[in-house]
Chain A
């Protein structure tokens, strides 16, 4: 495979490719870790919702010239609060509440982006533009990665117990709502970091697919977190390689690699027992 050698040569030559790889790897790690909690809490839809709901925040940040992390965080958390509020103050189920709120935020985001068109490019926000990563983007991503790791290490046992058995956590007095909204805030930060790599539309894939892949291989939460991060890293590097070599968009390339890893795990993981399942159905 001469193209792999070529890819490594290009990596040593081009700064922009190094930056892209570094960012993609960091995003792979953080979304793998946070995504694990998202899927274990049955919140995949919420992950999708938050990633779309940050769009107006991105637009507002561009308009005001502030850091997009701040603008996006405000709208991400606002969406999470609103979803919780609508679900708890009405007979509407949570998934319906998610659908209403995130589509409204997303629509608002489109309108605001079109108003701020001169300074930004909607296509890049939606699909990512990893080859244009700046040094300050790398710094921001690194800070978010640090925060994610700090958050998970500090509150590991609270995240574990509220994900596994929230009722029990409430009975001993844990403030499960605070854990929930803290996780939503961190999820928002991860989403914004992932925007540049894979874009809004595919952020949910980076959250869900590596975590789901890891889930198929282990029965321990801590192992799942590490495995999920590793799947995220492999997807990022391999995806970027495909992107560079075949001139594919980086986001879709990364996501396709992650999905392929999931497909392999689906077939071969001992937990999934694909072959056995098939046999028992046939019987």
Chain B
């Protein structure tokens, strides 16, 4: 279990959130939802050790995040990537092996095999030699999921993986997430589309400058929490629609 306790993060003394406490369970796909600026990316960046935390404690089964750093895979937002870089799909996936290789060792046969298998799992084998700027958004997202596969991590964190991608890619990525879950890994997904929350996530963390609620999706995804995190309007629209359809 990944445990966050008393976490406070501040940029220039303005706290994004303070005293956040939340757990992420192994063998579950956990969604993080909340309005823009609620601190979703900040929370995962703290977990990933990418930003300095002001206060608090994060551990994974009692070990510090630094000591399990090589067990964490991160699929960042596509908009943060350099799409004109001279690198092809296969070589991007291969960078997933770098962490465990360490310095002074280059990827060999075993690492290349891993990368090929990962590409096959996301159905991109035929695109292996293509420069990454020449892919659709969905294909590109699958490339970075393939890199996470190659990392063979226990904790996988994805930041808005489903934004602006085709349905086929979304389904393919969801299938991989479920395979990871069934293998007992901890999967954390920042998500914005509230409609699919029930279908996608076992657990849910609702965030708005602090934890609104967290727990099994069935229990915490309710009108009251959505109203607290977002707005009464959104809550009534979402839940009215839902009842209408069902």
Contact = CB atoms under 8 A, between A and B. Distances in A.
Interface of A: 40, 154-158, 160-161, 163-165, 167-174, 215, 218-221, 223-224
**A158, A161, A223, most chain B CB atoms within 10 A:** A161
Nearest to A170: B50
B72 A164 contact: no
Contact of B86 (A161, A168, A170, A221): A221
Contact of B131 (A40, A173, A219): A219
Nearest to A215: B86
Contact of A40 (B70, B73, B86): B86
A87 to B, nearest CB: 15
B98 A171 contact: no
A167 B76 contact: yes
Given A167-B76, A171-B72, A220-B86, 6 more contacts: A157-B101, A161-B95, A168-B74, A171-B50, A171-B74, A219-B86
25 contacts: A40-B82, A154-B104, A157-B101, A157-B106, A158-B103, A164-B92, A165-B76, A168-B74, A168-B147, A169-B98, A170-B48, A170-B49, A171-B69, A171-B72, A172-B70, A172-B98, A172-B151, A173-B66, A218-B86, A219-B87, A219-B88, A220-B87, A221-B86, A221-B87, A224-B86
Interface in B42-69: 48-50, 66, 69
B212 to A, nearest CB: 27
Contacts, number: 75
Chain A contact residues, majority secondary structure: helix
What is the interface residue range for chain B against chain A?
20 to 34
B85 A163 contact: yes
Contacts of B103: 155, 158
Nearest to B92: A164
A168 B78 CA distance: 12
B87 A164 contact: yes
Contacts of B91: 160, 220-221
Contacts of A155: 103
Contacts of A161: 95, 98
A164 B82 contact: yes
Contacts of B167: none
**B49, B70, B85, B88, most chain A CB atoms within 10 A:** B85
Interface in B72-110: 72-74, 76, 80-82, 85-88, 91-92, 95, 98-99, 101, 103-104, 106-107
Contacts of B85: 40, 163-164, 221
Nearest to B99: A172
Contacts of A164: 82, 85, 87, 92, 95
A165 B81 CA distance: 7
A224 B86 CA distance: 8
Nearest to B153: A172
